[in-house]
């Protein structure tokens, strides 16, 4: 039951799905929420994959319309919560100020020019990748699309637990304090299940999964070092930015994979 409530906490926080029930926010339930981060991502990704398939196979709409629907769903379903973190982190990073000032900029509710420009580039790149993937889609494409938010949320959970908080306040710190040394063990089981599923599909599925794992691992080591340098540690905004950054890199990887491995 705690697992289910932890999953519902994630849906309340990280999606726009209306869940109008009071959920407990104690240590045990938040710890279960961290364990189910990737499951929320898999739910999101499965929805995007289904939408793309439905538009391409069951409607008369163009590939452009299908790509736009998936692109828009990524904004609407999350309520823009991670995009807000991306913009705040973009404003802070491109200010080229010291850590203390960057944290102040991220805490400012106003959005500056750098935040706006960074989100335009992010969303523009994502639309390009989705459109091209839709244009070159294969049956295995839908499985790999479903994995993109899965890895994005997994990155959020790992960074949350492995990188110290920049300040002892905020949503990120609240979740971090609820974790234990065993919280992330379940992520390995999720990966094994995804690998088993890929093994039943055509060869590019397993190769695509391994490529996503490699990109995610390299990105984790990069971010775990740079976040400390840039911001002095992890914040809720940085976690949101990490989700968006991970996902757009994986969309790009899948785009390239369609050209050189599935073309």
Secondary structure of residue 97 in the 3-state scheme: coil
CA distance 252 to 260: 13
pLDDT tens figures, 225-257: 999 999 999 988 999 999 999 999 999 999 999
Is 78 among the domain residues? yes
pLDDT in tens, 119-172: 999 999 999 999 999 999 999 999 999 999 999 999 999 999 999 988 877 677
Q: Which residues contact 2 (CB under 8 A, 6 or more apart)?
A: 28, 29, 32
What is the Cα–Cα distance from 39 to 139, expressed in whole angstroms?
22
Per-residue model confidence (pLDDT) at position 167: 80
Residue 19, domain member (yes or no): no
Q: Is residue 180 part of a domain?
A: yes
Any domain includes 10: no
Which residues, 6+ apart, have CB-to-CB distance to 161 below 8 Å?
34, 176, 179, 183, 184
Domain membership flag for residue 105: yes
User: What pTM does this model have?
Assistant: 0.96
Of 167, 156, 174, nearest to 233 by C-alpha is 167
Is residue 6 assigned to a domain? no
If one counts the domains in the chain, the total is: 1
Better-scored residue on pLDDT, 233 or 72: 72
CA atoms within 13 A on the CB side of 161: 20
pLDDT of residue 200: 82
Tell whether 100 is covered by a domain.
yes
Query: Does the residue 3 lie in any domain?
Result: no
pLDDT (tens digit per residue) in 96-105: 888 888 988 8
Distance CA(105)–CA(93), nearest Å, equals: 9
Structural domain span for residue 185:
31-260
């Amino acid at each position: 039951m705690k697992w289910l409530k932890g999953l519902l906490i994630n849906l309340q926080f990280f999606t726009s799905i209306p869940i109008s029930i009071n959920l407990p926010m104690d240590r045990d339930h938040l710890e279960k929420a961290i364990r189910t981060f990737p499951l929320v991502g898999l739910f999101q990704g499965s929805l995007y994959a289904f939408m793309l398939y439905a538009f391409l196979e069951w409607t008369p709409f163009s590939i452009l319309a299908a790509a736009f629907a998936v692109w828009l769903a990524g904004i609407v379903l999350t309520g823009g919560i991670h995009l807000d973190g991306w913009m705040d982190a973009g404003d802070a990073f491109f200010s080229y100020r010291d850590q203390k000032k960057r944290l102040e900029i991220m805490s400012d509710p106003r959005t500056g020019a750098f935040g706006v420009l960074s989100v335009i580039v992010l969303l523009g790149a994502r639309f390009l990748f989705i459109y091209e993937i839709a244009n070159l889609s294969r049956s295995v494409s839908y499985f790999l699309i479903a994995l993109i938010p899965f890895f994005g949320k997994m990155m959020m959970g790992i960074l949350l637990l492995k990188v110290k908080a920049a300040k002892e306040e905020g949503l990120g710190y609240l979740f971090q304090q609820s974790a234990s040394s065993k919280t992330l063990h379940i992520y390995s089981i999720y990966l094994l299940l995804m690998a088993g599923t890929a093994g039943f599909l055509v060869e590019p599925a397993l190769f695509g999964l391994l490529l996503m794992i490699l990109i995610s691992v390299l990105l984790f080591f990069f971010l775990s070092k740079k976040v400390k340098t840039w911001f002095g540690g992890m914040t809720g905004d940085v976690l949101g930015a990490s989700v968006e950054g991970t996902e757009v890199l994986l969309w790009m990887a899948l785009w390239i994979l369609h050209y050189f491995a599935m073309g």
